[in-house]
Amino acid sequence: MKKLKKNITTKILLILFILVSNSLFSQSFDFKNYNVEDGLSQSEVNVIFQDSRGYLWIGTSGGGVCQFDGITFTQYSEKDGLSGDMIRAITEDHDGNLWFASTLGGITKYNGRKFTIYNESDNLLYSSGFNTLFTDDKNRIWIGSNFGLSIYEDGYFKNFENNALLSAEIYQITTDSKNNTLLATNKGLVILSKKDTLLINTSNGLPSDEIKYVIEDKDGNYLIGTKNKGAIKLLSGSVDEKQNFEFTSLPIPNDISITSILIDNDNEIWFSSNENGVYLLHSNFQVTNITKKNGLKNNHISNLLKDRSGNVWLGTSGSGLIKLGTKAFTYYDNINGFDSPAIFSIIRDDNNHLWVTTGDDGIFEHNGLKTIHYNKNNSLPSNKVRSSTKDNKGNLWFATNGGLIKYKDGIFKKYTKEQGLPSNEIRSVFFDSKNRLWIGTNGSGIVLFENNIFKTYNTKNCELSHDYIHTIYEDSQKNIWIGTGLGVNKFSNNKFTTYSNSKGFCNYYIGSITEDKYGKLWFGTDRCIVRYDGIDFKPVTIDNGLSSNVIYFLHTDLKGNIWVGTNKGLDKITLNSYGQIDRIKNYGALEGFKGIECNSRAIYEDKKGILWIGTIAGLISFNPAEDKSNVFEPIIHLNKVKLFFEDVNWLKYTKDYKSWNNLPNDLVLDNNENHLTFEFSGINLTHPEYVQYSFKLEPLDKDWFPSTKKTSATYSNLPPGEYKFLVKARNNEGIWTQEAASFEFTITSPLWQTWWFYLIIFTIIGYILFKVTTFKEKRQIEISKELEKKVRERTILIEKQRDEKEILLKEIHHRVKNNLQVINSLLSIQSSYTNDSKSLALFDEAKNRIRSMALIHEKMYQTGDLAHIDFQDYILALTDDLIRTYSINTDIFLDIKIDEVKFDIDTIIPIGLLLNEIISNTLKYAFIDRAKGKIIIHLTQIDDNTFSLVAGDDGVGMESHILEQEDVSLGMELIKIFVEQLDGTIERLEQKGTVYQIDFKSRKKS
């Protein structure tokens, strides 16, 4: 009875499979193929494996193995150390070593630097016939071959050639959630538990003993793939010692050979086959058969892999490696008409049939099984159909170049100029909320069709800005918006308002209109999008994140996202809670949107939220639910460090190195080894093309380098010091690696910059200085003693000479002073012989001048300084002498302010004579008939050698221009002569009396 039930279920599922697979037959998927021209070593892929570092390893049938980071393939073969070039299986142990099983030659272990081969000489059962490798949680390597099972543990191989079950041909090894080991063999399914060994074969209900693959699903059931008998499900609850196994058939053909089974992140099950491509079992139990007809390069799929980012990879026999891109985009290349590059509208009817209209080939209707083509030859007035819509009764309406078409129940009804249209060239059709049909024409304005009456609005009978109508839209306020070739128009309350002159439009061609969930209107032009908030029109461009400024359509989906079709791809605009643009996501070929260039207004959203888009590559559907964000950060690797752009064997520098990339730990470089290049890669297999990097070298760089696609960084002329290079990567969603890859190294200082070199040099210099100082001190003592003796002798001599010189100088000054007094006495005697008052005055003046000079010599020999005379002391003596000489009846007040200065004889004589003339004139003329008076003498030092002398009185005063007169007295003439001798200048100051200012320099002996 159970067997009968199973057979009935199998037949029902087979019928369902045929129906479903046929209905989905013509879908195409987003596959990317990698083959020998892309760097793969050989086109026949036997196994795909992803290691703990994120790399894919592809074992080929004759080309060895390839390491793949999403961009570049690195090939390894027998020449590099593999045991053979026909790789059948790959695994990784807990130490990060990779194990490769070759068809011939044995097993190879690779630690990133060295290949180690194990064969029969190492107690391996055989050196050929290997099918599978598996690493268990105890770090044991399980090896399945055509000759049975071997296990590698703690450096030794254990073989099971004498075990009847374990000596079978073993095709695959895995474990389940209960930690049982599952073996797919040619004798059936073997389950190894801690208690016993269980064999399940045809006698227990399996369709075949040739089990090629087994995997556990999320419910703990076993999905079993067989050779030539399809696949079957073994229910987990029936696997016990009673062996009352319960099987459930799967809706895939029961005569195919299964090579691999995979459960993806959406819990959809993939079955790869030997000749029939892949069968994809969806969660709704529908099946899609993926073959060459809908995207595969080859129907022979040898193996499947789901990487840690959830990408599905397929290995083929002859067509290399295939990656499934996003499931969000689906293509319909093999449906008649759906591959047209001129699809301009898409719509579903009430029967859920999909209709597409084209610009050159009419209309295509697809019911899921077949396509009906409507064109000028059978139904339509024109093959140029630019727009479609549906009314509330389910009728379809089409805009053609031959008029307006209505479709219902297989009948097309035509409306032309004969029925009241202004033109047969119709570009757009639209039903508003009142079920009124709006018709846009190509040059004849817009038409409202209501109650079987056509009413035309154009530039001649209303405020419409242009007669070429491209798009029509109704907003949430029931306003009708019309996009024309000259701006946008609003129809409200039976009145048109034009915005063709409004600021903010980058172009006045309006090709599409939509409204966002916040009530803002968006207008598409061929130069930007214009957003209208009811007040202002503001542009949105590529500067905001659009892929292009050429806008072909705008559409707001059921979730409020705005979709933009451009000539460079599809954009999704997401708004934040304030109604502002939060993010613009671009979809191009790399994201799965292979159509790239969209067609005008060719977008339609069905009730399930699926978007249907017409592109130059045909019809593409987009399922937003399958648009998964790439939340996986790249795995960053520092692959190589070069010295002066050359590869270096760093093992010559140190034996302590990092595993796999073979970079040395604690690298120490000489000071001239200061030019380093760091090469790195970030592995993110979802979108490897968009991985970007940022790096810095501490402490040289204070900030991270701006993100770049460069995969290397070079630093030259690095000074000595300790360094740490850091690099991180981000994916296409902007997610950065949480921990940067790092490499530390030290560049030593040159010999002359080391501390011990400085210490040695300082020690040597110190010793030399010590010896030199000691020698100099000793010599200095000797010299000092000699000098002291000579100094004493010389001092005695000098003191003697000085005393003799001082005596001589004093004697000279004394004799000069005495001689001047003799002369003065002679003048006195001579003056006694005359009674002429003028002559007597001349004699008195001469005697005064002689006394002033004699006073100088007297001061010199009376003081200890024979070279300089204290000027203040001299002036006081000179003034006192002159006042006593003239004996005038006037109280004289002396205003004397003199800085502390001393002058030598060459300066003091002309100054003394100069003051003698000024004071003498003052005493003779300034205070006549006055009871008192003031004599002013001020000397100020301006700088080291410049002085200012102010001398005069507050008496009756002299003529103001006396200094400029040529015919002056002898006294005034002498004053000018003495000023000239001092290299000075004289001027009379504008104040009471007669006051002169003489600026002069102290005379130096040459």
Instruction: For tokens 């080391």, name the residue.
Output: 754
Rounded mean pLDDT, 433-442:
96
How many whole angstroms separate alpha carbon 838 and alpha carbon 31? 136
In the chain the first and final C-alpha atoms are separated, in Å, by 144
Report pLDDT digits (tens) over 717-739: 999 999 999 999 999 999 999 99
Rounded mean pLDDT, 704-712:
95
Strand pairing class (446-450; 453-457): antiparallel
Q: Return the CATH class of domain 866-1001.
A: alpha beta
Rounded mean pLDDT, 154-177:
87
Which residues are bridge partners to 144 per DSSP?
A: 132, 149
Rounded mean pLDDT, 290-309:
93
Report pLDDT digits (tens) over 642-697: 999 999 888 888 877 777 877 888 899 998 999 999 999 999 999 999 999 999 99
**Burial classification of residue 919, based on how many CB atoms lie within 10 Å of its CB (0-12 exposed, 13-18 middle, 19 or more buried):** buried
CA dist 161 to 343, 961, 1003, Å?
A: 65, 141, 126
Q: Residue 486, SS3?
A: coil
Q: What percent of the chain has pLDDT over 70?
A: 89
pLDDT of residue 928: 82
- Domain 33-200+274-332 adopts which CATH fold? Methylamine Dehydrogenase; Chain H (2.130.10)
How many whole angstroms separate alpha carbon 78 and alpha carbon 84? 6
Report pLDDT digits (tens) over 460-494: 999 999 999 999 999 999 999 999 999 999 999 99
Instruction: For tokens 């998927």, name the residue.
Output: 29
Quote the tokens at residue 354.
């999909």
Report pLDDT digits (tens) over 546-563: 999 999 999 999 999 999
Report pLDDT digits (tens) over 938-962: 999 888 888 999 999 988 887 777 7
Which amino acid is present at 261? Answer: I
How many whole angstroms separate alpha carbon 135 and alpha carbon 144? 12
Per-residue pLDDT band for 856 (boundaries 50, 70, 90) equals low
- Residue 127 contacts residue 120 (beta carbons within 8 Å): yes
- Residue 511 contacts residue 600 (beta carbons within 8 Å): yes
Q: What would the DSSP string read from start to end of 688-701?
A: GGG-EEEEEEETT-
Q: Residue 168, SS3?
A: coil
Other CB atoms within 10 Å distance of the CB of residue 536: 11
Which residues are bridge partners to 203 per DSSP?
A: none
Helices (H), 922-989: 970-981
Report pLDDT digits (tens) over 207-216: 999 999 999 9
Q: Which of 62-76, 296-310, 414-428, 819-833 has the lowest mean pLDDT?
A: 819-833
- Residue 617 contacts residue 28 (beta carbons within 8 Å): no
Q: Which residues contact 677 (CB under 8 A, 6 or more apart)?
A: 641, 642, 643, 645, 712, 713, 714, 715
Domains of the chain by residue range: 33-200+274-332, 509-598, 635-753, 866-1001
pLDDT of residue 853: 64
pLDDT of residue 27: 74
pLDDT higher than 70, residue 1004: no
pLDDT of residue 932: 87
Rounded mean pLDDT, 898-904:
83
How many whole angstroms separate alpha carbon 204 and alpha carbon 166? 19
pLDDT of residue 10: 45
Quote the tokens at residue 27.
């879908």
Per-residue pLDDT band for 841 (boundaries 50, 70, 90) equals low
How many whole angstroms separate alpha carbon 143 and alpha carbon 147? 10
How many whole angstroms separate alpha carbon 537 and alpha carbon 392? 34
Q: Which of 876, 894, 885 minimizes the C-alpha distance to 846?
A: 885
Q: Which of 338, 432, 425 minimizes the C-alpha distance to 385?
A: 425
How many whole angstroms separate alpha carbon 164 and alpha carbon 776? 103
Q: Which residues contact 393 (CB under 8 A, 6 or more apart)?
A: none
Q: Which residues contact 367 (CB under 8 A, 6 or more apart)?
A: 351, 353
Report pLDDT digits (tens) over 131-147: 999 999 999 999 999 98
Length of the chain as a residue count: 1006
- Average pLDDT, rounded, for the chain: 88
Q: Which residue has the higher pLDDT, 775 or 162?
A: 775
pLDDT higher than 60, residue 24: no
pLDDT of residue 191: 93
Q: Which residues contact 361 (CB under 8 A, 6 or more apart)?
A: 337, 340, 342, 373, 375, 383
Q: What is the layout of strands, in order, in the sheet containing 676-683?
A: 635-643, 676-683, 712-715
Q: Which residues contact 604 (CB under 8 A, 6 or more apart)?
A: 345, 346, 347, 348, 611, 612
SS (H, E, C) 762-814: HHHHHHHHHHHHHHHHHHHHHHHHHHHHHHHHHHHHHHHHHHHHHHHHHHHHH
- Domain 635-753 adopts which CATH fold? Immunoglobulin-like (2.60.40)
Q: Which of 913, 915, 920 minimizes the C-alpha distance to 896?
A: 915
pLDDT higher than 60, residue 310: yes
Element (H, E) at 12: helix 2-23
Report pLDDT digits (tens) over 495-540: 999 998 888 899 999 999 999 999 999 999 999 999 999 999 999 9
Q: Which of 1-5, 156-160, 348-352, 964-968 has the lowest mean pLDDT?
A: 1-5
Q: What would the DSSP string read from start to end of 602-668?
A: EEEE-TT--EEEEETTEEEEE-GGG-----PPPEEEEEEEEETTB---GGGT-S-B-TTT-PBSSEE
Q: Which of 84-88, 461-465, 700-704, 862-866 has the lowest mean pLDDT?
A: 862-866
Strands (E) in 367-515, as ranges, are 371-374, 385-390, 396-400, 403-408, 411-415, 426-431, 437-441, 446-450, 453-457, 469-474, 480-484, 487-492, 495-498, 512-515
pLDDT of residue 601: 97
Quote the tokens at residue 220.
């703990």
How many whole angstroms separate alpha carbon 553 and alpha carbon 827? 129
Q: Which residues contact 756 (CB under 8 A, 6 or more apart)?
A: none
pTM tops 0.95, yes or no:
no
Report pLDDT digits (tens) over 43-68: 999 999 999 999 999 999 999 999 99
Element (H, E) at 831: helix 755-831
- Residue 111 contacts residue 129 (beta carbons within 8 Å): no
Strand pairing class (141-145; 148-153): antiparallel
Report pLDDT digits (tens) over 755-776: 677 788 888 888 888 888 888 7
pLDDT of residue 835: 75
pLDDT higher than 90, residue 6: no
Strands (E) in 79-161, as ranges, are 87-92, 98-102, 107-110, 115-118, 130-135, 141-145, 148-153, 156-159
